[in-house]
């Protein structure tokens, strides 16, 4: 354990580091690296690709578990929740070399996605405002940018390990990284700086001002933010997975089409801290409205023509990239920190709908008319409606 005399300035960057690397490992290992294991698993066990990919449907488990995770964060603090979640994430990977049956794959995937909500947005939404105060916007953006860094680096490492050794070793090392981060969370994460010189949050800080869950449910702001989560999240599993085939349909080579995902990751890496900083200046509400307009504009440009689509790609990427960083800041602006975990958890439930329907709508559009144009246009309208609806949100703590 760190000595109690460790300066608070140093402590807060240790808390930030756990959040940053937790975000990177969480999404980098669960989503970005997923495809690298399909061929080895198919060769090893003879499982069909459809059966392997079906495990991604457990992503909804993370959203469904988020209200419970949020309540646990409010009641027991971020440290035990993050520690247990990172440990569970690590174990879900470190046990995969022992798999023999398909149901083992599904059971471990269930544990993997169950852990996701306790690693990222909910604990970050509570810890970063407490530790970083007036700079919380840009720091939130940097912490969530760990997702993009993980999305770029972890697949490269996994690809190298699989080629040099085996998929079993790759999974074991990813799992070990999760367990190490769980230990780091135990040692470094605290609820906030203490004015009394002790490690944990003083009682008056712990009872932060803000609305209860019941009070939040009776505000227009709650439903405006829920609308943003519901409609704005169609970008992630509606537009993003369809980009490579969409650009392929526009005449791009397979290599050039694959670059679209790299562009999206790079734009997200830049936009998260940039819009976090903007949130400090003009409120997270206005910053989020700008990102939604950018997503609307980008989605329309993607279907205008093959040339214009390449202009729309970074426009859309900048807007989509900042979404995850601004969401916790929106909740804090409207409801304070008192029950932010529980409120974030309930609002996250809204993502179940776009995560479930986004790929279906995009696929249906292509199957019917041979193009993603109707789907992208429909999503653009949803982004615009979301931006307009967010005007109903009331900023209480800027």
Token digits of residue 13: 């960057």
pLDDT digits (tens, 9 = 90+) for 200-224: 444 344 445 788 999 999 999 999 9
Among candidates 1, 40, 62, 36, which has minimal Cα distance to 351? 62
pLDDT digits (tens, 9 = 90+) for 143-180: 999 988 888 888 889 889 998 999 999 999 999 999 99
Q: Given 170, 186, 206, which residue is the final one in a domain?
A: 206
Domain match, 184 and 276 both: no
List Cα–Cα distances, 198 to 2, 82, 204, 325, in angstroms.
Answer: 12, 21, 14, 30
Mean pLDDT across 39-44: 90
- In a domain, residue 37? The reply is yes
Residue 35, domain CATH: 1.20.1250.20
- In a domain, residue 397? The reply is no
Helix (H, G, I), strand (E, B) or coil at 322: coil
Q: Given 164, 189, 206, which residue is the final one in a domain?
A: 206
pLDDT digits (tens, 9 = 90+) for 109-143: 999 989 988 987 889 988 998 898 888 999 999 99
Domain match, 190 and 244 both: no
Domain match, 113 and 202 both: yes
pLDDT at 303 over 80: yes
Domain match, 195 and 241 both: no
pLDDT confidence of residue 198:
44
Mean pLDDT across 78-82: 94
- In a domain, residue 3? The reply is no
Report how many domains make up the chain.
2
List the beta bridge partners of residue 210: 336
Domain match, 255 and 106 both: no
Which residues span the domain enclosing 258?
Answer: 213-392
pLDDT confidence of residue 191:
85
Domain match, 150 and 231 both: no
Domain match, 127 and 234 both: no
Give the sign of the dihedral formed by CA 260, CA 261, CA 266, CA 268. positive
> How many C-beta atoms surround the C-beta of residue 254 within 10 A?
9
Residue 5: band (very low, low, confident or very high) from pLDDT cuts 50, 70, 90: very low
- In a domain, residue 276? The reply is yes
Mean confidence (pLDDT) of the chain: 87
Q: Between residues 254 and 8, which one has the greater pLDDT?
A: 254
Among candidates 49, 177, 55, 48, which has minimal Cα distance to 110? 55
Q: Given 149, 176, 206, which residue is the final one in a domain?
A: 206
Q: Name every residue whose Cβ is closer than 8 Å to that of residue 342 and which is 6 or more positions away in sequence.
A: 67, 70, 71, 73, 74, 213
DSSP character string of 188-252: H--SS--TTSSSSPPHHHHT-SB--HHHHHTSHHHHHHHHHHHHHTHIIIIIGGGHHHHHHHTT-
pLDDT confidence of residue 9:
65
């Amino acid at each position: 354990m760190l000595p109690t005399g460790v300066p608070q300035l140093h402590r807060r960057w240790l808390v930030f580091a756990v959040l940053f690397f937790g975000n990177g490992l969480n999404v980098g290992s669960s989503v970005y690296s997923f495809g690298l294991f399909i061929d080895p698993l198919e060769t090893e066990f003879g499982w069909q690709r459809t059966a392997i990919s079906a495990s991604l449907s457990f992503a909804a488990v993370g959203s469904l578990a988020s209200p419970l995770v949020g309540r646990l964060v409010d009641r027991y603090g971020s440290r035990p929740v993050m520690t247990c979640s990172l440990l569970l994430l690590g174990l879900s990977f470190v046990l995969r070399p022992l798999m023999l049956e398909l149901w083992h794959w599904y059971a471990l995937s269930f544990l993997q996605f169950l852990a996701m909500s306790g690693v990222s947005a909910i604990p970050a939404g509570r810890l970063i405002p407490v530790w970083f105060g007036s700079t919380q916007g840009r720091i939130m953006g940097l912490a969530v940018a760990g997702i993009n860094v993980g999305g770029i680096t972890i697949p490269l490492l996994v690809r190298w390990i699989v080629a040099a050794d085996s998929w079993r070793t790759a999974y074991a090392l990813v799992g070990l990284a999760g367990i190490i981060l769980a230990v780091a969370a135990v040692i470094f994460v605290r609820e906030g700086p203490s004015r009394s010189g002790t490690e944990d949050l003083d009682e008056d800080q712990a009872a932060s001002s803000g609305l209860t869950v019941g009070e939040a449910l009776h505000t227009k702001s709650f439903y405006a933010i829920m609308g943003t989560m519901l409609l704005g999240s169609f970008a992630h599993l509606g537009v993003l997975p369809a980009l490579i085939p969409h650009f392929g349909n526009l005449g791009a080579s397979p290599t050039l089409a694959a670059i679209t995902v790299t562009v999206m990751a790079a734009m997200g890496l830049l936009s998260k801290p940039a819009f976090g900083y903007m949130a400090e200046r003009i409120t997270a509400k206005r910053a989020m409205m700008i990102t939604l307009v950018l997503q609307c504009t980008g989605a329309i440009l993607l279907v205008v023509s093959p040339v214009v689509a390449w202009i729309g790609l970074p426009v859309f990427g900048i807007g989509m990239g900042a979404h995850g960083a601004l969401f916790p800041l929106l909740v804090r602006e409207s409801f304070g920190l008192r029950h932010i975990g529980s409120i974030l958890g309930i609002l996250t439930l809204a993502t179940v709908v776009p995560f479930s329907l986004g790929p279906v709508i995009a696929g249906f559009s292509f199957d019917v008319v041979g193009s993603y144009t109707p789907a992208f246009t429909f999503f653009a309208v949803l982004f615009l409606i979301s931006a307009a609806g967010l005007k109903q949100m009331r900023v209480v703590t800027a």
